[in-house]
């Protein structure tokens, strides 16, 4: 890992941090609850991207299992919250 590729990987960390800040902005501001659920879904994806980039940085392939579990849990959480909001009187 040298030169240009290192710069590209560190700048992609920077891009993901900017994305996290923007998603938190929508999470704080969002007019309805459903906007907040959509932004939480996006935040889960951003954290998955962080873990993937980190696994390249420290050269450990074991971190992919975390992404597998996290994609499952994010889907189940989104469906559970929106179903609860639909059933709520």
Partner 1 sequence: MNILLVSILLFFGSVFILIASIGLVRFKDLYSRMHATTKATSFGILLLLLGISIYFNSWNVAIKVVLIINLIYFTAPLAAHSIAKSYEDKKDKE
Per CB under 8 A, residues contacting partner 1 are 1, 4-6, 8-9, 11-13, 15-16, 18-20, 22-23, 25-26, 32, 34-35, 37-39, 41-42, 45-46, 48-49, 52-53, 55-56, 61, 64-65, 67-68, 71-72, 75, 78-79, 82-83, 85-86
CB 75 → partner 1: shortest distance, Å? 4
Rounded CA separation 55/89 (Å): 45
Rounded CA separation 15/9 (Å): 10
Rounded CA separation 50/53 (Å): 5
Rounded CA separation 39/59 (Å): 30
Q: Token digits for 73?
A: 């849990």
């Amino acid at each position: 890992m040298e030169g240009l590729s290192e710069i590209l990987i560190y700048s992609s960390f920077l891009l993901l941090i900017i994305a996290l800040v923007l998603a938190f902005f929508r999470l704080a501001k969002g007019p309805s609850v459903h906007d907040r659920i959509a932004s939480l879904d996006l935040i889960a994806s951003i954290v998955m991207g962080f873990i993937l980039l980190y696994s390249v940085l420290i050269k450990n392939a074991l971190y992919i299992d975390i992404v597998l579990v996290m994609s499952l849990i994010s889907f189940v959480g989104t469906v559970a919250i929106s179903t609860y909001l639909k059933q709520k009187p």
